[in-house]
């Protein structure tokens, strides 16, 4: 299983070399998660935090 994750991490890094900045960052984060799985870290099992909308969207009157 370790070789499986190691191969996916390397593939993500290879793709990141040719990707735009946003995609590059996502691919490198993905590779890092695979590396954590290889090392047996419990952090690898924690899902990434969800993006929350800015509080400015919720300010103001609640009346429609």
Q: Residue ranges of the domains in the chain?
A: 2-49
Query: For 2-12, what is the mean pLDDT?
Result: 92
Whole-angstrom CA distances from 52 to 55, 57, 58, 60 are 9, 11, 11, 18
pLDDT band, very low/low/confident/very high, at 44 (cuts 50, 70, 90): very low
Give CA–CA dist 21/58, Å, rounded.
Answer: 30
**Residues belonging to the chain:** 64
pLDDT band, very low/low/confident/very high, at 48 (cuts 50, 70, 90): low
User: pTM for the full model?
Assistant: 0.58
pLDDT tens by residue, 18-37: 999 999 999 999 999 999 98
Name the token pair of 16.
Answer: 């990141």
Nearest partner of 28 among 36, 41, 59, 42, judged by Cα = 36
Question: What is the per-residue pLDDT for 32?
Answer: 95
């Amino acid at each position: 299983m370790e070789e499986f994750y190691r191969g996916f991490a390397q593939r993500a890094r290879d793709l990141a070399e040719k990707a735009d900045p946003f995609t590059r960052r996502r691919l490198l984060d993905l590779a890092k998660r695979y590396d954590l799985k290889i090392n047996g870290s419990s952090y690898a099992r924690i899902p990434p935090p969800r993006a929350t909308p800015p509080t400015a969207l919720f300010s103001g009157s609640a009346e429609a």
